[in-house]
Each structure stands twice: as C-alpha cells, then as structure tokens.
Amino acid sequence: MKHTTSDFRNLSGPEKAAILFLCLGEQRGSDLMQNLEERDIQTITHAMSDLGSIAAPLVERVLSEFSDSVMDGAGVTGSYAAAENMLRSFLPEGEVAGIMKQVRSPQEETGVWDRFGALKEDEIAEYLKAEHEQTAAAILNNLDPEVAAKVLPLLGTERMQDVIERMIAMDSIPNTMLRQIEETLQQGIDSAASQPSLTDLQQRMTDLFDKLDPDIFEQISPVLEERIPEAFGSIKQKMFTFDDLIGLDAQALARVMRGMQGNSLPMALRGASKEVRDHFLTALPARSREMLLDEMSSMGSVRGREVRAAQAAMVDYTKELAREEVIQLPMADDDDMIE
C-alpha cells in the first residue's frame, strides 16, 4: 500500500515516528532507538513493518525538519526487513527475534510460502521469469517439491537447467535475505490476487453471456466475431445454453427434469424449439410425457422473460449437477469424427 498526502491526518503517532526513523537511516535511527523503552521499540517497529511505500510529499509533511533529505523526490519504504535490520544493529539477536516475532502476524509467519505455492503453476513461472536465477532457485527450494516440479518446465529448458544447478549448489539462505524474499513474494501474491488470469476473465464473460438475453447475444455476436474472433471463439466454446441441453443423454436429461421445481420445466419448454422440446419429451416415460404436455397446454400465454428465467434456472441446475459429478455435460467436440 502506498500512502499519499491525503493520508496525513490518518497517520498515528507511532507511524510518524516510524517515518522519522526510516529517514534517519539505520545507524542514526539505531542510536536514537536505543534510548527508548522496549514497549516503545515494539510499537514503532510494528508501525514501521506495516507502513509500506510512503510517497515523498507525505514524508515532507510529516518530517518538515528533514525536508532537505527528501527534496529529490525519493520516498521511503517501511517493511519487516527494514525494521529487523535497524534493531539488529543495536540489540542482541535473541531480543531482535523476540520483538519481530511479536510484530509478525501468524499469517505472515506461516502463510506466505503456502499462499504463493497455491498460485497456478503458470502464474508462479511468470513471476520467477522476472527474478534472478539465484532468487528463483531460492524460492523453488522453499516450495513443495510437487509444485516446484510442475513450475520448472514452464521456465524454458535453458533457464530451468540453470535454476536447477543453483538449487543443487545452494547453501542455507540468511534470515535477512529470506525475509526480503518473503516480502517480495507477498507483493507478488497481492498482485496476482488483484489481476484475474485470462482464463478467469473468459469464464466470467462465459457466465455473463450464458445469462444474457439470447436476442441481445445474437445481435452482438457478429460484431465480436469480426473484432475479436479468437477471444470470442474461446468464450463461445465454454458457453452452455439451454439449447445445449439437447446434447445430454436421456438419463442425464431425465435427472435434470426431475430436479426442476414448480412450473419451471413446462415454462422452459414452452419457449424451446421443436427439436429441443422433442428431445426432452422422448427422455420421459409415456405417462410423465403426457402429464407434461397437459401442463404446458394449460398454461396459456406466457411472458418471454418468464420463459427465459425458467430456461436459465434449468441451465444453472444442470451445471450444478455437473459440478457435483451427478451428470456429465456434453463436450464441445462430441460430434467430431474419429477415423
């Protein structure tokens, strides 16, 4: 998170003090911090580790007496590593570890590697491609071997070989370096979480188009096919509409129809094409078929939006059964011929 000038009134006293220590630098900041009580050290250290990136204008407002040191536009960055390094310069290692353990949240203590390892393999690979080979090796050495084994081939043959060599030859990583890597990983996790993948975006558009009025979809499709044929084609392949129910086998279709509530089934079929309607009816026993036809004929005129709502409900229920592996959706290439 990067603070701006507008955040000035929201800064607490410990946060302002943390900015001061960061501006003083490790040596001068350490000399000053030695004069504080342990409780104050913990408070300022906690604030420093949570600051993130501080914009230069905000630094100038908080630290007007140090404006000469920030007039070049440089900001400061508060982080776990910066706080730890400053404490390490004047406190014994044991005391530093104790203070930082209290500052570090349980999630930060145990979760960074797990959360990074839970990203998709291609996301991890893309992140590592931007890192130095030694850093990539250090990161992969700390991931689950199963995850690392899937990520390595995605780096490309040459880089993969280089990284593996470094993984084999790597000694233990100093704690300060490991902390810096963890902080960088956390930023990578946050970035990945805020930027959905291409697959996620396409799935979102697929869900949107599945629920869009069919007439509107037919109206916009030619334009999209002309302007973005590849992307739109990928989305269309993922779409599953009411008419696609004709691809279900009789047993799966009967299971879907049994689960429909109220008058949803006859309402949905009232707006179906003859081909789709006949496919539904043939999946039912004779007695059930007659009852459904009677119910459809007794409904009289129905509104188009009610029909579309019923069909959408049937599609949603079909997808739910498929997710639960009760039925299987027809594949897009089911009709492909095999020689």
Q: Give the pLDDT of residue 73.
A: 45
CA distance 80 to 58: 20
Task: Say if strands 52-54 and 2-3 run parallel, antiparallel, or are unpaired.
Answer: parallel
Q: pLDDT tier at 77 (50, 70, 90 boundaries)? A: low
CATH number of the domain enclosing 26: 1.10.220
Boundary residue ending a domain (179, 195, 211): 195
- Indicate whether 274 and 237 sit together in one domain: yes
Strand partners, 76: 54
- Indicate whether 234 and 313 sit together in one domain: yes
Is residue 298 assigned to a domain? yes
Q: What share of the chain has pLDDT > 70, as a percent?
A: 72
Is residue 116 assigned to a domain? yes
- Indicate whether 130 and 150 sit together in one domain: yes
Number of structural domains (the chain) is 3
CATH number of the domain enclosing 249: 1.10.220.30
CA distance 118 to 143: 10
Q: Give the pLDDT of residue 66.
A: 44
pTM of the model: 0.40
- DSSP one-letter string for 150-164: HHGGGG-HHHHHHHH
Alpha-carbon distances of 25 from 82, 85, 180, 184, 237, rounded to whole Å: 10, 11, 18, 21, 57
- Indicate whether 86 and 115 sit together in one domain: no
> 89-127: per-residue pLDDT in tens?
666 666 766 676 565 544 444 467 777 777 788 888 888
> 153-175: per-residue pLDDT in tens?
999 888 898 888 888 887 766 66
Helix (H, G, I), strand (E, B) or coil at 283: coil
Residues 84 and 100 sit within 8 Å (Cβ to Cβ): yes
CA distance 176 to 82: 9
Alpha-carbon distances of 130 from 91, 113, 127, 133, 135, rounded to whole Å: 36, 18, 6, 9, 10
Boundary residue ending a domain (55, 71, 103): 103
> 297-334: per-residue pLDDT in tens?
898 888 888 998 899 899 989 989 998 889 998 865 44
Is residue 337 assigned to a domain? no
Structural domain including 122 reads: 110-195
